[in-house]
Structure 1
């Protein structure tokens, strides 16, 4: 066994497994980044793109992006395409929760080991890895010893969490089997997070209603059979189909029926029929300081950053467990001290900004921040509106695992930037050439043709509908282009009452409710379509992997122009043209 080395870490989920080592120094979102049926990495921006995770020891710094990563990992464990083990630099709640739910409900698991940043950086290029409890053993070649894998024991962390009499009653099953199992999962996560106590929460937003495969429906139906009922007002995220129109839209019943049934299962638990990835647009949006439990990455970031409410980036399934108990671990962004900035980003001088600037900036800063909460300086005089902050936050949540951002002089906790600093932070300065590189990364299409224009990721707001109606007035969509907008039912009715929808439909657009572009595919996207165009930094990142098409990314006005001409202009926004001239005078 020449070339063997060993590292010790913290076991997040017990067990022992062996396999070829698959290593990357970039976090991976399992949802949108990994095919839940095959285990292939489909994030075309990730260094592991095209690799298959099944049976391999996956070493990544952490997860990132979507809260639905827990559901995808649970699905992979259930169908036999999961990694043999996970090795992380940082403890990751989303991925760990997916394993814990599979272990609790389905009796299947895989070991998860956190080894810390320093040890992770020293992993090197070993060919094989063995996780055994708290230890990671690395090998140049496959060892020939008689070692065999073992299933993990259900761990009972020694960390003590103070419980109320009501908490103990939930654990004892006095409120039914569903609440008992939910409380067991909440307590296990609280122990892993180091929380000393639980808190009452006022509302929940459930992301686990997205259909990732049979296990996601099996999980929800099991809770219903156990008599699950939510204990706080609860909204539902976008589901995987337009529940009222999926047949009309040509969706295969193999997806439409279970995806619709999954939404019904969560409503049977008492959740509201909201079906939106933008719950902050509903009348029930939380107030500043309110302790809530939201999943869906863009909604979490918006709630914390723009509304000043308090939530973690809750994994799918932990969200419903907390909704069933009304109790959440007191940790992370629920605490004042954990809402401070850990990265200070300063922007260059800017001029002539359009609405493409904010999602691009969010995408860029998210990748820069990783898991750190950033404070961004340099936007004070530009007064970004709520739609700008929505677009920034969604793209930021795609490339970052942080649940919160601060913008000096703009977001509520950073109106006085000193309030979000524990002390001086070194300043990271972004340049326009830096932003140009991110622009080029999001613009993956290499020819100017546009077949589909994708709007509404996250769901359109009333003000976005008003803006779109002004751009569409008196114009018509090209007959060979599909322009489709996803939105929530409540906002659609508001936009219809305001007269915006009549103008947009006269233009030739398609309106899709209940679901979002991250779940849409063929035939809403025609099979022959080659290139998409979007104003969403989030969807520009995910679409190449999710639907196998290249993307043009630009402002809303450029998207409407392309819908009319079936061609992307390729023009850079004015605020980027200076950077392009510096890099290549012929580029503009």
Structure 2
């Protein structure tokens, strides 16, 4: 028997197709090939399945803010899902569909349904969406369907108060680019159920990552419409080392458009920071500062560690905020949106090394989904900024939540009293280690460090670890970092010491964008201390991965082999 229900329309439209569902959120960036629509996340239950033409049902997006860009590419190249059905709050994929509709007159419907309805999706093989209506079927639909929506016309529109400046943007007084930006912000404000807009003091743009032709078309259209940023705006890591990509052997068909995309954002007035760790810059926001940041690890760090306030903004909404200096007053911008709803009790094993933090972040993110956690039990761990950076990046890779609290460590953890609680045992860390170590061979051809970008203190630590050591000629060791950190590390002598060992430094880009020939074609297995990259690399670059501490990575660079057993502290 077919099932008909109604939900909340996030992006209107009609579609039908085979139903493809999963109970786990999906990051389109790093999880879906933007040219084919095939799921490349090898840790996801839908791995190797094609989304093209199917009704995709997932609880929410997760992971990277760049998922909006991937969905836009898929819509414009006809490899997108026919529709997307969600049951949690979701803005990243929704924004990708909105951009396609507002800017390119192409789109797909996005519908949010109740959890009770979502829980029954596995009983059906086909689905169709019409406005707020969802029909689930056992056989392919053969007739037209126009559900009675008179009592269910939830279109995502809400009443948002507009200040004079907002009205001026919408009316076109500040140019077409700002007008389009405000229209998109208004659509997103409705999704977020915001009642008003607010000023932001700065923006970090993640949309400068080249996902395909659509990302460049969008940016160059904004430039042609006279776009100029109104607040200080930093740029995320881009898809190539802008100053050296030709010398690195990167092909013109990637290097030219990726560089042109960066140039478009520079033409709008953004700063050439080119880092996925803007919290390492001197311009990092202060506690309580309202900002508009994209890039998943940066958002989580800003909210959780710095105590600044930002939503997990999708790519392309970031530049909309930069062009207007405005953002919806919702979510983590408000006190109520920063409260923990789940307590996670953990215990740091004795003698744990620095790989503990990315492993724990990976476990916490997988449990939390959209919920903000309070992690308890680490009060005496003396976690430093690098540990919190590694934890946050891992957390953001598999969670949709925009922040976390760690009791006794992060600035807003005191006073958090979530009602629900769970415990993370050492066995969960062991399972995460096994999931991230996908390579069957111990032989390592590349050591990958700097995801997120290396800090100055990490450069110093690496220099100390390689001092007096000899790297294997068969192993490349590559570090990615931002320009500002590279200059500071050079002045401090860390770069020269590391390069004497054989370390290569790459700036402007990051591991989630790097491929051959920067990754040597002959390399079959890489080793990293980043659980973020260990998660994404099998799908992004088709290599097996070994995961471990920074010291273990240096040992692998010297010996050409990674340990096949977990570290002693994890046993």
Q: Output the TM-score relative to the length of structure 2.
A: 0.97
Aligned to 2:121, what secondary structure does the other structure show? coil
Task: Give me the whole-angstrom Cα distance separating, in 1, the residues matched to 2:126 and 2:525.
Answer: 39
1:458 paired to 2:452: yes
The residue that corresponds to 1:53 in the other structure is 51
Deviations 1:273-319 (A, max 9, x none): 00000000000000000000000000000000000000000000001
Quote how far apart the aligned CAs of 1:408 are. Answer: 0.2
Quote how far apart the aligned CAs of 1:211 are. Answer: 0.1
The residue that corresponds to 2:9 in the other structure is 11
1:438 paired to 2:436: no
The residue that corresponds to 1:42 in the other structure is 40
Deviations 1:91-149 (A, max 9, x none): 31000000000111110000001002221012123111111111111111113325699
1:21 paired to 2:19: yes
Task: Give me the whole-angstrom Cα distance separating, in 2, the residues matched to 1:30 and 1:158.
Answer: 26
The residue that corresponds to 2:105 in the other structure is 107
Q: More deviation in 123-132 or 61-70?
A: 123-132
Select which of 115, 118, 123 maps to 2:116: 118
1:237 paired to 2:236: yes
Quote how far apart the aligned CAs of 1:222 are. Answer: 0.2
The residue that corresponds to 1:565 in the other structure is 559
Select which of 82, 85, 102 maps to 1:84: 82
The residue that corresponds to 1:312 in the other structure is 311
Task: Give me the whole-angstrom Cα distance separating, in 1, the residues matched to 2:146 and 2:534.
Answer: 43
The residue that corresponds to 1:170 in the other structure is 169
Task: Give me the whole-angstrom Cα distance separating, in 2, the residues matched to 1:562 and 1:354.
Answer: 16
Quote how far apart the aligned CAs of 1:566 are. Answer: 0.7
Counterpart contact for 2:341–2:420, Cα < 8 Å: no
The residue that corresponds to 1:264 in the other structure is 263
The residue that corresponds to 1:354 in the other structure is 353
The residue that corresponds to 1:582 in the other structure is none
The residue that corresponds to 1:204 in the other structure is 203
How many residues align? The count is 565
Task: Give me the whole-angstrom Cα distance separating, in 1, the residues matched to 2:245 and 2:123.
Answer: 47
Task: Give me the whole-angstrom Cα distance separating, in 1, the residues matched to 2:41 and 2:331.
Answer: 28
The residue that corresponds to 1:475 in the other structure is 469
1:382 paired to 2:381: yes
Counterpart contact for 2:10–2:155, Cα < 8 Å: no
Q: Which of structure 1's runs of 4+ aligned residues deviate more than 3 A?
A: 146-149, 155-158
* Closer, same or farther: CA 117–503 of 1 in aligned 2, 3 Å: same
The residue that corresponds to 1:427 in the other structure is 421
Task: Give me the whole-angstrom Cα distance separating, in 1, the residues matched to 2:157 and 2:459.
Answer: 52
The residue that corresponds to 2:151 in the other structure is none
Aligned to 2:401, what secondary structure does the other structure show? coil
The residue that corresponds to 1:189 in the other structure is 188
* Closer, same or farther: CA 27–433 of 1 in aligned 2, 3 Å: same
Aligned to 2:322, what secondary structure does the other structure show? helix
Aligned to 2:308, what secondary structure does the other structure show? coil
Deviations 1:15-46 (A, max 9, x none): 11010000100000000000000000000000
Aligned to 1:26, what secondary structure does the other structure show? coil
Task: Give me the whole-angstrom Cα distance separating, in 1, the residues matched to 2:80 and 2:563.
Answer: 42
Task: Give me the whole-angstrom Cα distance separating, in 2, the residues matched to 1:197 and 1:105.
Answer: 24
Quote how far apart the aligned CAs of 1:180 are. Answer: 0.6
Counterpart contact for 2:12–2:155, Cα < 8 Å: no
Task: Give me the whole-angstrom Cα distance separating, in 2, the residues matched to 1:485 and 1:302.
Answer: 21
Task: Give me the whole-angstrom Cα distance separating, in 1, the residues matched to 2:18 and 2:156.
Answer: 29
Aligned to 2:535, what secondary structure does the other structure show? helix
Deviations 1:454-478 (A, max 9, x none): 0000000000000000011112221
Counterpart contact for 1:348–1:429, Cα < 8 Å: no
Task: Give me the whole-angstrom Cα distance separating, in 2, the residues matched to 1:411 and 1:157.
Answer: 35
* Closer, same or farther: CA 36–179 of 1 in aligned 2, 3 Å: same
Aligned to 1:391, what secondary structure does the other structure show? helix
Task: Give me the whole-angstrom Cα distance separating, in 1, the residues matched to 2:280 and 2:158.
Answer: 39
Task: Give me the CA root mean square deviation.
Answer: 1.3
Counterpart contact for 1:374–1:405, Cα < 8 Å: yes
The residue that corresponds to 1:75 in the other structure is 73
User: Structure 2: which 5+ runs fail to align?
Assistant: 148-153
Task: Give me the whole-angstrom Cα distance separating, in 2, the residues matched to 1:180 and 1:114.
Answer: 28
User: Structure 1: which 5+ runs fail to align?
Assistant: 150-154, 578-588
Task: Give me the whole-angstrom Cα distance separating, in 1, the residues matched to 2:544 and 2:503.
Answer: 21
Task: Give me the whole-angstrom Cα distance separating, in 1, the residues matched to 2:375 and 2:440.
Answer: 32
Quote how far apart the aligned CAs of 1:334 are. Answer: 0.2
Aligned to 2:412, what secondary structure does the other structure show? helix
Deviations 1:159-204 (A, max 9, x none): 1111111111111100000001101111111112110110000000
1:160 paired to 2:156: no
